[in-house]
Amino acid sequence: MGEQGDRRELTEERVCWMSDSGPQLALARILGSDRHTDLQTVGFHLREFVRCTTPLKLANLAMAKMQRWLRRSRVVGMPTQYFIDPINMCNLRCPLCPTGRGVLARPPGRMALADLKGVVDEIAPYAYRVELYNWGEPLLHPEIFEMIAYVSQRPISVGLSSNLNHLDDNMARRLVTSGLSQLVVSIDGATQESYEAYRRRGRLDVVLKNLELLLETRRALKLCGPFIIWRMLVGKHNEREIEAVRTMASEMGVDAFAIGPLFVDTKDPKQVEQWVPSDPRYSPYACTISELENTWHCRDLWESMVINWDGGVAPCCWLHDPQFDFGNVRHQTVQEIWNGPSYVSARRVISRHEEEPNGVSTICHRCRGHPHYMAY
Ligand SMILES: C[S@@+](CC[C@H](N)C(=O)[O-])C[C@H]1O[C@@H](n2cnc3c(N)ncnc32)[C@H](O)[C@@H]1O
Ligand code: SF4
């Protein structure tokens, strides 16, 4: 635990709880980024923005926003944000995660460093942010530190989310010196019992020890990054522990605390019954159909791209089945895929509700901007 002097009052990063309205809770995740409210967090994002900005990136960002607003289906420019998945294997067995449940449709594997470099070389002039994770535990990739460094040096802001069950002294040192901008540590309980209700096979004492090691290493090396966020997914199993977990985060001296919604397969009544919180303020599903229909919130098709370990490109981070891929960077450029038939068709159906204008049907034709209501 950190010293008393390290304690600070953490303002909760109201990741998905900006209001009590269900659709906003649910859609905050789809809108993309966590909403950081405290000054320290705002400062962090500003520094990253300045560090990674070039006139070309700024123009590309403005263009992406404008084209989404104009509902353009064929776009000029490139995505500003990427999820690149180094590995889709994991040491834990979280029961609502397709990797944890062992139902991932994409075969298990690791991205080669050379493949990552090829993608980064193409996207670097435009990219602000790369999240180096998606459907696995990124710290299990043996070259994750080289990957982070390669992206960070371009310069692109790099984020990671980890269950932090796997770390040693050497890894901690390499992680904090790699150029990583932000680390989200997934810890959803104040006791081993509530923690392992979701993070099956995980050990809370190990995670807390590893987090302390990271914070201590960062302090010893007098580094101000990476920015470390403790993130708690809230479900029925832990909704009464939010304050206890927040206090633990504050005592550890992490930079921010966030809570996020636990998504379920809404077609499975058992999952809904078991996991959706009783308190509607914490449920991403406490909204009516008409509220949902009156919102249009998919920015991914204009601003971001997901690249899986095998090069398969998905339009958003919810998808794990390669049958929904929009292309593959192993034999196409990112630029070609970005304006390829799948992206063009998906943008048109999402923004204009025009069905299959070029004969290409995509997963977005089923999703219609509400991926949290789909079972994949
Ligand atoms: C699939 S995980 C991969 C990264 C890492 N293994 C981890 O758990 O942090 C990516 C993110 O999804 C979150 N996640 C896992 N199951 C979820 C669920 N059912 N609903 C919402 N988010 C979930 C994790 O907490 C993590 O932040
Ligand atoms: S730790 Fe992350 S990747 Fe692993 S099973 Fe849990 S949510 Fe999925």
Other residues' Cβ atoms within 10 Å of the Cβ of residue 148: 25
Mean pLDDT of 276-305: 78
Strands (DSSP E) along 138-211, which ranges? 157-162, 182-186
Confidence (pLDDT) at 9: 33
Which phi and psi (to 5°) does residue 341 adopt? -60, -35
Q: How far is the CA of 164 from the centre of ligand 1 (A)?
A: 12
CA distances from 117 to 86, 120, 153 (A): 12, 5, 12
Q: Which residue has the higher pLDDT, 23 or 163?
A: 163
Tell the residue nearest (CA) to atom 14 of ligand 1: 97
Confidence (pLDDT) at 5: 29
Structure tokens at 184: 């989200």
Characterise 318 by phi-psi region: left (phi > 0), alpha (psi -120 to 50), beta (else). alpha
Provide the pLDDT confidence category of residue 293 given band limits of 50, 70 and 90. Answer: low
Provide the pLDDT confidence category of residue 288 given band limits of 50, 70 and 90. Answer: low
Q: How far is the CA of 92 from the centre of ligand 2 (A)?
A: 6
The CA distance from 195 to 204, in Å, is 7
Which of 199-203, 255-259, 270-274, 277-281 reaches the highest mean pLDDT?
199-203
What sign has the CA pseudo-torsion 327, 53, 86, 149?
A: positive
Asked whether the predicted pLDDT for residue 52 surpasses 70, the reply is yes
The CA distance from 368 to 295, in Å, is 10
Asked whether the predicted pLDDT for residue 350 surpasses 60, the reply is yes
Ligand 2 pocket test target in 91, 163, 232 with most atoms within 8 Å of CB:
163
Mean pLDDT of 74-94: 97
Mean pLDDT of 30-57: 72
Asked whether the predicted pLDDT for residue 18 surpasses 60, the reply is no
Identify whether 107 is preceded by a cis peptide bond (ω within 30 of 0): no
Q: How far is the CA of 25 from the centre of ligand 2 (A)?
A: 22
13 lines ligand 1 (CB under 6 A): no
Q: What angle do CA 63, 83, 219 make, to 5 degrees?
A: 110
Ligand 1 pocket test target in 196, 233, 319 with most atoms within 8 Å of CB:
233
Q: How far is the CA of 89 from the centre of ligand 2 (A)?
A: 8
Mean pLDDT of 341-364: 85
Q: How far is the CA of 97 from the centre of ligand 1 (A)?
A: 7
The stretches of 95-163 forming alpha helices (DSSP H) are: 98-101, 113-123, 144-152
140 lines ligand 1 (CB under 6 A): no
Asked whether the predicted pLDDT for residue 36 surpasses 60, the reply is no
Confidence (pLDDT) at 295: 58
90 lines ligand 1 (CB under 6 A): yes
Residue-averaged pLDDT of the chain: 86
92 lines ligand 2 (CB under 6 A): yes
CA trace torsion 193, 197, 199, 201 (10° rounding): 70
- The answer to which of 130-139, 169-178, 287-296 has the lowest mean pLDDT is 287-296
Q: How far is the CA of 151 from the centre of ligand 1 (A)?
A: 22
Global pTM?
0.88
